[in-house]
Amino acid sequence: MEHASGFVLPNSGHNRDAEASKMGMWLFLFTEILLFGGLFIVYMVYRMINSEAFLLSSFELNVTMGTINTVVLLVSSMTIAMSITAIQKGNTRLSVNLLFLTLAAALIFMIIKYFEWSAKIHHGLFPGMEYYENLPKGEGLFFYLYFFMTGLHALHIIIGAIIIAVVIYRTKKGLITPERYTLTENAGLYWHLVDLIWIYLFPLFYLIH
């Protein structure tokens, strides 16, 4: 692309692609916000109708595990933000190391969630199990929403981890550089949304009491 003076503007095509990529990511994140926003509204309606049942059911959740996972995700938001800064400054190795730390945080989150879910399933609280079917309606709704919403969030964690793994691979291959790091930024945006969703899920389910 030539400027009016006749000089060629470097990377103009790349800049347009980067802006289009960011815009696409923001539009995607907006649809995700609408999805979880709708679920939060459904949750609040059912909670108002079944306030006592939701309160009693919340005592079945492990607040300590939920708190640890909250801290883990907050740390992961910091590491992925630092990785973006590192690649901007040309420190590729540090950027990759910070992304690995973010992946480690995702793994820790999923391990804790596995043990937490396993305990609930062991006690028959998973929808469809015999004990669950005999729960009062309000308590059954609580656990249905708990498994559905935290399960959907866990799926987003897995998708985010895959995206971060791709960023690590492309960075190591030299495809992501201080001049071309839009994919790293988009991965960071997605991961921040995943963290933000959990910041709402944690008090809604774990801290009712």
Side chain identity, residue 25: M
Contact in structure between 61 and 205 (CB atoms under 8 Å): yes
Task: List the chain domain ranges.
Answer: 16-206
Name the pLDDT band for 18 (thresholds 50, 70, 90). confident
What distance in Å separates the CA atoms of residue 204 and residue 193, rounded to the nearest whole number?
17
What distance in Å separates the CA atoms of residue 151 and residue 117, rounded to the nearest whole number?
9
Range 16-206 has CATH code 1.25.40.10: no
For the residues 104-122, what does the mean pLDDT come to?
97
Q: Which residue has the tokens 């595990």?
A: 65
pLDDT at 157: 97
What distance in Å separates the CA atoms of residue 178 and residue 85, rounded to the nearest whole number?
10
User: pTM of the full predicted structure?
Assistant: 0.88
**129-150 per-position pLDDT tens digit:** 999 999 999 999 999 999 999 9
pLDDT over 90 percentage in the chain = 84
Q: What does each C-alpha distance from 91 to 14, 18, 82, 178, 189 come to in angstroms?
A: 21, 20, 11, 8, 20
Q: What is the DSSP letter of 129?
A: S
**149-182 per-position pLDDT tens digit:** 999 999 999 999 999 999 999 999 999 999 889 9
- List, in order, residues 6 or more apart from 79 with CB less than 8 Å away: 98, 99, 101, 102, 105
- List, in order, residues 6 or more apart from 182 with CB less than 8 Å away: 17, 18, 21, 22
For the residues 185-199, what does the mean pLDDT come to?
96
Side chain identity, residue 178: P
pLDDT at 7: 40
Contact in structure between 58 and 206 (CB atoms under 8 Å): yes
pLDDT at 11: 52
